[in-house]
Amino acid sequence: MSSKRGLISGGTSGDAKDKDDIFRTVFDKIQTGILIIDTDSHIIVDANPVAEEIIGLPRDRIIGKTCHNFVCPAQEGQCPITDKHQDLDRTERVIINARGEQVSILKTVAKARVGGKEYLIESFIEITDRKRAEERRVALLAYMNEAVSRVSKPMELTIANLQNIVDVAKTGIYDAEDLRMQLQIQTNNIRQMVKNLKEISDKVTNEETDIPDAFKEYFSGK
């Protein structure tokens, strides 16, 4: 059996061939990247089309290479499955595809015996969009927290001060000029809060570098 053809290459006759054809069809059509890896050598013996797409290389350039070149960041001799005897079930990893891009994946590795030999079946899905959405959400929350903190405390103090002015006015005993000055101070405080919010808006509009990209995209509608 040629390594270029892969481990799942079809039988020769009868029911065996039919079963192999079914497995080959499922292997090729399933919407999950799958690599079949020799447990002893860590050589990839088969890869399905989704694995090709995520890795960014055709199947014949994947088969025959070690898994360390692609979806396993561990160094040789440090395999979490065969060397450290760990379980990998829906574990997040980051790989570098053939274009040099970081790709986030969620992968599971299981052992299986095929034709009397043990293999690692490594299945994975790309979650780059999910990770970007999560990072975008975190960036938005962090920056919104900054915006709120710039306003909430001063606003609480202004409300308290205005309530004090109201209480004094209710007594009927007050100095009109002093009351006017106190109201002017609170007016200035409110103006400063509006200015703080405008500064945040301007930073987003001008795309300043200290603003998270996700925040700029959100408010600019990109």
DSSP assignment letter at 69? G
C-alpha to C-alpha distance for 33 and 105, rounded to whole angstroms: 10
Task: Give the residue among 32, 189, 53, 44 at the shortest CA–CA distance from 108.
Answer: 32
C-alpha to C-alpha distance for 159 and 51, rounded to whole angstroms: 60
Helix (H, G, I), strand (E, B) or coil at 210: coil
Q: Tell me: the pLDDT tens digits for 99-139?
A: 888 888 998 888 888 878 899 999 999 998 888 878 777 77
Q: Tell me: the pLDDT tens digits for 134-191?
A: 877 777 777 777 777 777 888 888 999 999 999 988 888 888 999 889 999 999 988 8
More confident residue, 203 or 151: 151
| pTM value > 0.75 | no
